[in-house]
Amino acid sequence: MLSFRRTTASSTGEKPMKVKKLDHIALYMDDRASAADFLTSNLGFHVVDHTDRYTLVGAGGRVGKLTLFDAPTGAPSPDPIERINLRVADPESAAAKLPSETNPERQGPGFVFTGPENLPLALVPGEGDFTDYDLEGFVLRSADPEASARGFLEMGFAPGEDSRTLGAGEYRLRLAERAPGSGGMLFHVGCLVDSAEDHRREAEERGLEVQDFVEGPNTLAVFVRGPEGVSVEYVEHKPTFSLT
């Protein structure tokens, strides 16, 4: 696991790293087209954007989304992801619409089920004003959940209700003990920020590993390595951003 240097904005004189909200979770898929078809056919998703490199699906361009990439040939499957939660008004009704092969099972007030390529998903009851099938958050496995949570806290996530939970706007990142049997191929976690450049500068000041800086037609993004090797993408929307 990475160790994080204990620096803060007050000690460096720089602007603090601050996540505004979770934007997307990026996943590697062996069959991107089939995975996108499953998600758009069985959940309240539509294709938000599609290129030769990725397919972006979700309940809308301004809510939490899944970005599907083609898995690199011969690459081992990364497995830190325990589950991705989707918020819905009626979990029981939503679960009843799933294909039987997804094996939906009640868990507390919601249902867990298996998505494409064994992607672990859950339907949970939404609270307050929300969009059906928006992401509620996700769970990552960790050898040391509390230490990983502290690392993500230093990277701009907000404190949560306990030592293993963090906030990313209205979304939640939870850390859990490592356990065998869950699937998923996490590529990176995309978080919306005011300035990608400020976050690159602050990451360098703190001694964090800056992996890449990418300018797209509608976004600027810096990728920083976090706990458990998870890549966090700090993405800034340009004024031209208009995904729906």
What single-letter amino acid sits at 19?
V
Cβ-contact 69, 78 below 8 angstroms: no
Question: Encoding tokens for residue 210?
Answer: 């800056």
Question: Encoding tokens for residue 24?
Answer: 């997307």
The pLDDT value recorded for residue 10 is 41
Domains located in the chain, CATH noted:
18-237 (3.10.180.10)
The pTM assigned to this predicted structure is 0.89
For the cut 70, the answer to whether the pLDDT of residue 52 exceeds it is yes
Distance CA(152)–CA(174), nearest Å, equals 11
CA dihedral 30, 38, 235, 22 (to 10 degrees): -120
The pLDDT value recorded for residue 8 is 45
Q: What does DSSP say about strands 186-192 and 210-215: parallel, antiparallel, or unpaired? A: unpaired
Count the alpha carbons within 13 Å of 88 in the hemisphere toward its beta carbon.
Answer: 22
More confident residue, 31 or 75: 31
Mean pLDDT confidence for 171-182: 81
Distance CA(17)–CA(13), nearest Å, equals 12
Distance CA(157)–CA(4), nearest Å, equals 14
- In 3D, which of 169, 187, 210 has the Cα closest to residue 70? 187
Q: What does DSSP say about strands 231-237 and 186-192: parallel, antiparallel, or unpaired? A: parallel
Question: Encoding tokens for residue 36?
Answer: 């996108």
Question: Encoding tokens for residue 219?
Answer: 């976004």
pLDDT tens per residue across span 192-205: 999 999 999 999 99
In 106-244, which ranges are continuous DSSP H helix?
145-154, 196-205
Q: How confident is the model at residue 79 (pLDDT cuts 50, 70, 90)?
A: low
More confident residue, 178 or 86: 86
- DSSP secondary structure code for residue 151 in this structure: H
For Cα atoms 57, 215, 55, give the angle at the middle one, nearest 5 degrees: 15
Average pLDDT, the chain: 90
The pLDDT value recorded for residue 2 is 40
The pLDDT value recorded for residue 218 is 82
